[in-house]
Amino acid sequence: MDFRFNKEQSMLQKEIRKFANEKLEPIAAEVDELDEVSWEVVRLLAEQELFCLLTPEEYGGVGPTATSICIAREELSRVSGHADLLFAETGLCAFPIRTFGSEKQKEKYLTAFGKGELIGCYALTEPDAGSDVGNMQTTATLEGDEYVLNGTKCFASVGPFAQTYVTYAKTNPDAGSRGVSAFIMDKGTPGFSGVPMKLMGPHPIGELTFTDCRIPKENLIGEPGQGMGIAMTTLDFMRTSVGAHALGVAQRAYEEAIKYAKSRQAFGQALAEFQNTQFKLADMATELDAARLLVYRAAWMRDTVSDRITKEASMAKLYATEMAWRVVDQALQIFGGYGVLRGSITERLYREIRQPRVYEGTSEIQRLVIARNILGS
């Protein structure tokens, strides 16, 4: 059993790390404080052709794999959460189109996604439908050759700033979750608006409103009533990469903690000489390795074994995000007072890592998914 990346994967990892260190690191402290999109970061990601990892070869991409997306997200988030967010959100938008979309939809959107000409937003959550997605209230009524959408989405990352949206609405409200359908929405559509929301940490995110918003019938993804399956399949694929994001944040915290522990003097010796510090670092290293194995096992399974890795993806997301919270917290503890200084790397990572335990399925939802798979319920 070989736990190493293959030659192509190792090369990809080295290239993205070099790019992140040289191009993103100098601006990371600034852009990671933004509540709006940095189009400079979009340009850099596009020039590096990273968006091509999200699209198939026939549309100008390199053929997306779960492993390559996880590698990219780990390396990007190690340096800039903002860059990772723009990459991941476009991936969330591209996946349902490339997997369930019509040929016309693929030609229109996937090539543009791969070039970084369009930034996507995945709009699923509503004020009364977070974990309980089936309770969504947004509706889509077919009138002639158009669907008329009415409703509200919230906590939509990149929402007010994106150019293309994949969203969900009930085409048959009486059918519950089986009446949900998926749609593509373009920015500037009459009746569609977005306003920013403020979170505890910087994050371009917002609330989207559809008021008699008319979109062409051909903007439906798949068939009417397939929306919930499309949504869950998309999350199934991308959820593992949330674990990879958490790995990147935790890895950076771990590296910074080691550097600080070696250089900081207290009571006549470096912090790294104290057994208490050594125990913290040992626990951090062990948890990082355990999480990395879970994340890349799930990615490998998705690429080689099965299109559905629901349990494994949830395990990876659950453990990696919870692990990262613990690792960043311990890194901050090693830094002491300097760790909570506004603008310090540990303070930035601490704010960054709280959100992944909530989005794309809370830790509690992941445990529920895992348990149901174990029990066959």
Question: Do residues 118 and 158 make contact, with C-beta atoms less than 8 angstroms apart?
Answer: no
Q: What is the pLDDT of residues 30-49, one digit of tens each?
A: 999 999 999 999 999 999 99
Residue 51 carries which DSSP code? G
**363 vs 129: which has the higher pLDDT:** 363
Give residue 14's pLDDT band: very low, low, confident or very high (50, 70, 90).
very high
Phi-psi region of 63 (alpha: psi -120 to 50; beta: other; left: phi over 0): left
- Its CATH architecture, for the domain 229-375, is Up-down Bundle (1.20)
Q: What is the pLDDT of residues 143-195, one digit of tens each?
A: 999 999 999 999 999 999 999 999 999 999 988 889 999 999 999 999 999 99
Question: Do residues 18 and 11 make contact, with C-beta atoms less than 8 angstroms apart?
Answer: no
Average pLDDT, the chain: 95
Choices 2.40.110.10, 3.20.20.70, 2.60.120.460, 2.60.40.1730: CATH for 121-225: 2.40.110.10
Q: Given a cut of 90, is residue 297 above it in pLDDT? A: yes
Residues of the chain within CATH 2.40.110.10 domain(s) are 121-225
Residues of the chain within CATH 1.20.140.10 domain(s) are 229-375
- Its CATH architecture, for the domain 7-118, is Orthogonal Bundle (1.10)
322 flagged as catalytic: no
Predicted TM-score (pTM) of this structure:
0.94
Q: What pLDDT score was predicted for residue 19?
A: 98
Catalytic residue chosen out of the listed positions 117, 347, 360, 364: 360
Sequence-distant (6+) residues with CB within 8 A of 281 are 254, 257, 258, 261, 272, 334
Q: What pLDDT score was predicted for residue 2?
A: 80
- Which token pair is 366? 């992941």
Give residue 133's pLDDT band: very low, low, confident or very high (50, 70, 90).
confident
Percent of the chain with pLDDT strictly greater than 90? 90
Give residue 234's pLDDT band: very low, low, confident or very high (50, 70, 90).
very high
- Name the pairing type of β-strands 269-270 and 205-216: unpaired
- Which token pair is 333? 């503890």
Q: What pLDDT score was predicted for residue 305?
A: 92
> Alpha helix (H) ranges present in the chain?
7-19, 25-31, 39-47, 66-79, 81-100, 103-115, 227-263, 275-304, 310-335, 345-352, 363-375
Neighbour count for residue 1 (Cβ, 10 Å): 2
Taking residues 53-71, what's their average pLDDT? 95
Q: What pLDDT score was predicted for residue 132?
A: 81
